[in-house]
Structure 1
Amino acid sequence: MPTNTTETIQLYAKVPVELGGKRLDQVAAQLFPEHSRSRLTAWIKENRLTVDGQIIRPRDTVYSGSELHLTAEHEAQGEWVAQDIPLDIVYEDEHILVLNKPAGLVVHPAAGHPDGTLLNALLFHVPNLIEVPRAGIVHRLDKDTTGLMVVAKTLVAHTSLVEQLQARSVGRTYEAIVVGVITSGATIDAPIGRHGQQRQRMAVIDSGKPAVSHYRVLERFRSHTHTRVMLETGRTHQIRVHMTHVGFPLVGDPAYGGRFRIPPAVNPTLLESLKEFPRQALHARFLELEHPATGKRMKWEAPLPEDFTWLLTLLRQDREAFVG
């Protein structure tokens, strides 16, 4: 059955001495930490949070002993269907869930993908996620990108993870196979926004949002490179756009790969594998963050998927065949 819920929230708190004299939005963020500051600020502006029964602005000062009353409703999360779709769970506790996403799985329902997504699978696995914005999804991977994602299972965890992502303190490291031989690692600092003509694509444009990627060489082949890319920001298609921007598009990338280039004197097996590689060769290998409840720094690793390792094997064989 579709899940469509609206939860009424009623919270009360008295301002302690140490928070007296601060702005209302700052105090509310301290007293109601399960909700993000931006969400609380919106509720204040909608007159849903009162101070001693009075409506005041987010920037107004509150004093110790004042009573805060919040009455609000969570926005309906949508008519999402819980579906029994297998999940490769790497880590799970009562606060967060870390999974290894397979290729071909869309993360969130959208036009053309109303169900059968990771979100639908999460709702089946953890039904209470309907109470968390976007069912706990705080960042995404493209449909055909594999690897690690973290999901918040509570509002407190959601707020913490969003804040860590905004502060760029979440470590997200990917591995990719790109076309071309990279001589050394570098940093790409180039803003990304919607492509001017093709709205489904992203591009490096002056008016885009800041985007920073750091890449280094793991292994070189005759015409390709196995790279590791660390994200500092998290723009849509960031690695795919950035690597194409510097002249090293990802193998198999249908949107940004450009014209297929045939390596010289390549053997038929490798040629066929490069031509038919079914997706962009991109894998979210490492994920590192502070646990929302304990504050402990945690790190996970997801092994390279089979299609990725098979292509690396063929590239190594090709390189060795031409040594000497």
Structure 2
Amino acid sequence: MHYKTHIKYFLFYSSVILISIFVCLFWGSFKISFTETLEVLFSVFKKENGPFSIGKQIILNIRLPRVIFAGLAGAVLSVCGVCMQGITGNDLAEPYILGISSGASAGAVSAIILHFFSIFSPFNIYMGAFLGSIFAMGGVLILNGKSRDPVKLILMGVGVNAFFSALTTYMIYSSKNEAQVRSAMFWTTGSLSGIQYADLILPAFALLALVIIVLLLNKEFNLLLLGLESAVETGLNINRVRFAVVLVTSAAVSVLTAKAGVIGFIGLIVPHIGRKFIGVMHRPLILWSAVFGASGLMIADTFARTMFSPSELPISVVTGLAGAPLFIKISKKSF
């Protein structure tokens, strides 16, 4: 690709991200002017210190970390969707549908209510979410076996999702500690409220790890476009690729779930639209998915926090309203 084309893509993707960030910082229940929002952004780049107005404090201390986290989470979930669809050969595969998010949620809730993984404190919730996601993804792949039937894979995912969702609900209802119940309920619906700057570190590393694994396995992913059987005939070690992808995607999803709860359908919506616009080759698709996944979840979270202000909708409600119809549409075409 010519360097001028690279520059065009860079400018386009950068514009999408910057415009999304600005709109989400500007838009909220507390009215902040267009010019004040711009001033706050410029003050960040100039590293200016206070005194700040109430509007500036709201943007810097509440909205900005939340918007950045939403961007990182959207990028991670979208790239996870591309990776899972690549190793399964199924365009419907994504963390929520295959039950990985529910597994991570169950693991996080077990750490809160049953005090599992307390030896890993203060990272016990992250460890619970990680092991839960590993069990869920591993369970789907084992139950699916060597089957190439896309319907079977989705059905296995639905079953695993239902199991871990039921397990999470059981643990919540079995607890007699109200504080634990309130904390655990958060993981069943998804929310980005209360996000702070310190919460951005792990999602940033998760996104970096995903990008690295995709770049390293770019050739293998493109071989999988030929079909699993054809890819194996070329000498591809499918088990090695699956192991690497399962490990990294499970870790990435667990990091997000431990902090934000279950967020569905982002990994389905964005890659599907991306294939329509830029094709199926994985390197450009990953970049598209990361950028528009970030933008999409930032906007979805802004809807969630403003539609019924001062109350907030769970973010999974917004993503579900957008993603469920698309899931049905793809299913009708595929099966």
TM beyond 0.5 = no
Higher-RCO chain (CA-CA 8 Å, sequence separation at least 6): 2
Structure number with higher strand proportion: 1
Larger Rg: 1
Q: Give the TM-score normalised by the residue count of structure 2.
A: 0.25
TM-score normalized by the length of structure 1: 0.25
